[in-house]
Structure 1
Amino acid sequence: MLKPQITTVTAVTAVALLTLAACGTESGSDAGSKGSGGSVRSELPLTDVVWSVDSVSVGGKKTAAPAGASVEIDSKGRASAKTGCNTIGADVTVSGDTVTVGKKESTLIGCPEELEGFEKALSGAFSGKLKAEVEDKRLTLTTADGDAISLTSEPPVPLAGTEWTVNSLAAGATATSLPKGTEGKAHFTLGKDGSVEGSLGCNTFSSTAKVSGSTVTFGRITSTRKLCPGPEMTVERQVQKVLDGKVSYELHHRGLTLTAGNGAGLGAVADTPGK
Structure 2
Amino acid sequence: MTQNTENVQRETVLVTSGTGKTGRRVVERLAARGVVVRAGSRSGEVRFDWADESGWAPALRGADAAYVTYYPDLAAPGAPEAMAAFGRIATENGVRRLVLLSGRGEPQAVAAEESLRRSAAGAELTVVRSAFFAQNFSEGAMLDGVLGGEVVFPAGGTAEPFVDIDDLADVVVAALTEDGHAGAVHELTGPRLLTFDEVVSEIASATGRSVRYLPVSGAEYAQMLEGYGVPGPEAGFLADLFTMLLDGHNATVTEGVKQVLGRDPKDFGAFARAAAQSGAWKG
TM-score using structure 2 length: 0.30
Larger strand proportion of the pair: 1
TM-score using structure 1 length: 0.31
